[in-house]
């Protein structure tokens, strides 16, 4: 999910959708549903992350999303926590 002007764009396996909202509103709604913020204008579902690097998040579909230094630790920690939970 990313933000462009006054819209939040949702990129899903079924297509792309937009909603007039702020990313902060959507983040509040989605935080409990396994989403993490990768930079100021982007949220990613942890279930679709393949790899986390210091500068980007690689998704299962091969796309790469920018990862800012501000959010790196949170994304990295939550990603690896989700791997441990999935293995149990």
Q: How far, in Å, CA of 88 to CA of 85, rounded?
A: 6
Arithmetic mean of pLDDT over the chain: 87
Give the H/E segment covering residue 18.
strand 15-20
| pTM exceeding the 0.85 threshold for the entire prediction | no
3, 5, 11: which is closest to 39 by C-alpha? 3
CATH topology of domain 2-87: OB fold (Dihydrolipoamide Acetyltransferase, E2P) (2.40.50)
User: Looking at residue 31, what is its pLDDT?
Assistant: 78
Mean pLDDT of 39-66: 92
The pLDDT tens digits of the residues spanning 42-53 come to: 889 999 999 999
Confidence check: pLDDT of 87 > 80: no
């Amino acid at each position: 999910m990313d933000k462009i002007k006054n819209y939040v764009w949702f990129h899903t396996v079924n297509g792309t959708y937009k909603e007039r909202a702020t990313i902060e509103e959507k983040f509040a709604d989605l935080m409990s549903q396994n989403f993490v913020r990768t930079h100021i204008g982007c949220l990613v579902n942890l279930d679709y992350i393949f790899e986390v690097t210091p500068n980007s998040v690689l998704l299962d579909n091969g796309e790469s999303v920018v990862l800012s230094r501000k959010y790196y630790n949170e994304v990295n920690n939550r990603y690896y926590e989700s791997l441990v939970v999935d293995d149990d």
